[in-house]
Amino acid sequence: MRPRLRRIALFAVVLVATFALIRVWDFVLPSFGARYQAVFLANGQTYFGHYLDRLGPYVKVENAFYIQQAPTAEEGQTPESRIIRRGSELHQPLPFVLIPKTAILFVEDLRADSQVAAFMDRELGK
């Protein structure tokens, strides 16, 4: 009876340790590129932030920002675009977004002197 109890206890410890490792590590593959990336989606949406390629079907964009276009009063004018920090919306979501890998067209690194990167640094520094 003792060996069986020992195996059950060992299994429980391994299970708890595995769960803790998954929660902490999040199975994120390391990225050694630029500080921020632009993630272009098939639906035309673009997210800016820290791109984390995870194992599995989703990627994670932390400290995410996106472009929102406001309609203009006059017809024929180009819509006004603003960069919105995720989490500042009415429903107060967390500041990251999980994106299916199948929805991504491509990912680009942002240069440090990019206007978008400078804006993000200012907003995240508040």
pLDDT at 89: 83
Residue pLDDT, tens place only, 56-108:
899 999 999 999 888 777 777 787 888 889 988 888 898 899 999 999 999 99
Q: Alpha-carbon distance 46 to 67, whole Å?
A: 7
- Residue 21 tokens read as 């490792």
- For residue 44, what are the β-bridge partners? none
pLDDT band (50, 70, 90) for residue 112: confident
pTM (2 d.p.): 0.72
Residue pLDDT, tens place only, 22-42:
666 666 665 667 889 999 999
Task: Identify which of 35, 108, 33, 89 has the alpha carbon closest to the alpha carbon of residue 97.
Answer: 89
**Domains of the chain, each with CATH number or no CATH:** 27-125 (2.30.30.100)
Can you list the positions of beta strands (E) in 3-124? 28-29, 37-41, 46-54, 58-70, 80-85, 97-100, 104-109
Total residues found in the chain within this entry: 126
Q: Alpha-carbon distance 126 to 121, whole Å?
A: 9
